[in-house]
Amino acid sequence: MNRFEQKNRSLWQKMIYLLPILAFIVLFVLFLQGIGSVSESTLSKQQESLETALERSISQCYAVEGSYPPSLEYLKQHYGLLYDEDSFFIDYEYYGSNLLPEVTVLRRTVGR
């Protein structure tokens, strides 16, 4: 037999070489899904934290000044409120100095 001749391999023998590649692809897809899940969980926690910070800042302003803050900018300037404006939108509805403002925190979606 000529040593440069190739033997005919069965389909199963050829597939064995593809198994590590297929396993890598499956693991990579699962890894990406895990990262997406962690990212979603992190955004949810950030939103909860922002809502809590807003409630506390508004309450602190009312306790210190005797009136509710007239705007979101007022909270940023006088009470140090910081948040990621690219990730969240805050709808701040001011009704008067003695009425609790209505605050809604919405998550911005990019590319969806």
Q: Which domain covers residue 68, as residue numbers?
A: 11-107
| Mean pLDDT for the stretch of residues 36-42 | 79
pLDDT computed for residue 5 by the predictor: 59
| Mean pLDDT for the stretch of residues 27-41 | 83
**Residue 103 CB partners (closer than 8 Å, separation 6+):** 51, 54, 55, 58, 90, 91, 92, 93
**Residue 62 CB partners (closer than 8 Å, separation 6+):** 68
| 6 inside domain | no
Grouping H, G, I as helix, E, B as strand and the rest as coil, residue 90 is strand
| 5 inside domain | no
| 112 inside domain | no
Whether the model clears a pTM of 0.75, i.e. scores above it, the answer is: no
Q: Please count the structural domains in the chain.
A: 1
| 44 inside domain | yes
Q: Which residue matches tokens 């009470």?
A: 79
pLDDT computed for residue 111 by the predictor: 53
